[in-house]
Amino acid sequence: MDLQPIWLSLKLAGVTTLLLLVIGLPLAWWLAKKQSVIRLMIEALLTMPLVLPPSVLGFYLLLAFSPQGGLGKWLHEVFNLQFVFSFTGLVLASVIYSIPFMVSPVKSAFQQLPPSLSQASYTLGKTPWQTFWRVLLPNIKPSLLTATVLTFAHTLGEFGVVLMIGGNIPGVTRVASIAVYNAVEQQDYASANNYALVLFAITFVLVAGVFVYNKYQVKSPLV
């Protein structure tokens, strides 16, 4: 079995999850604060990848980043960046596609913390940023872990968006889910089964691991 698609999938999921931790956490925090129409609209927009067919998202990304015109042409000419049929493009598409999996659970967790936690921290003279790192983030750890693992697993399982914007280039954009499809097309069911089984096993272990961890968190009174 050619392991490259598996590695590519893991790499894509890893990079996407890291980027979403950096982008998604402050975004979720901001969204969890007082509601306003702008926040609601942005939240609705961020939730769209959950309900839209991945092909719709992939289609628009393909149009936007096509080197033939507009944004894609400009990015190519000025920064020599090509998003279509490249790994960078896959990362960008995955970040957009998986953003609700990171932002939504983390936002809900922030909202469930009593407002008095931040207030207490502020009266001790701590800035909102110090409060975020030392008080808020550590107290949503289970949700944060769930969001991280779901984002990773969801990115591993991507198909439609990846196919639209990345195509099926071995070693560049042929991730495991595409490799399954490709093998079935070629009636190579043994390979398809191998890739499918590996994907199933990895995601099952990840999701089950989180469930077990959240259920049996250390309950010792000491530290």
Partner 1 sequence: MIRIHIEKRLKAYNGIQVLRIEKTVTPGSILRVTGPSGAGKTTLLKMIAGLIAPDAGTIAVGDAVWYESAMKINFSPQQRQPGFVFQDYALFPNMTVLQHLQYATQDAAWITRLLAIGQLQTFAHHKPAHLSGGQQQRLAILRALAIRPRLLLMDEPFSALDVKMKTRLIADLLLVIKELNATAIIVSHNQQELDGICNDELVLGGEE
Residue with tokens 């289609």: 59
CB of 21 to partner 1, least distance (A): 18
Residue 170 gets which letter from DSSP?
Answer: T
Residue nearer to partner 1 on the CB measure, 139 or 193 = 139
CB of 135 to partner 1, least distance (A): 5
Residue nearer to partner 1 on the CB measure, 80 or 125 = 125
Residues that bind partner 1 (CB under 8 A): 114, 116-117, 119-127, 134-135, 138-139, 141, 221-223
CB of 140 to partner 1, least distance (A): 10
Biggest CA pair distance of the chain: 66
CB of 213 to partner 1, least distance (A): 16
Residue nearer to partner 1 on the CB measure, 122 or 181 = 122
Residue nearer to partner 1 on the CB measure, 68 or 116 = 116
Assigned token pair, 16? 């996407």
Q: What is the CA radius of gyration of the chain?
A: 20
CB of 122 to partner 1, least distance (A): 4
Measured torsion, CA atoms of residues 62, 64, 69, 75, in degrees rounded to the nearest 10: -110
Residue nearer to partner 1 on the CB measure, 78 or 138 = 138
Residue pair 49/100 in contact (Cβ under 8 Å)? The answer is: yes
Buried-exposed string 154-191: b where 16+ CB fall within 10 A, e elsewhere:
bbbbbbbbbbbbbbbeeebbbbbbbbbbbbeeeeeeeb
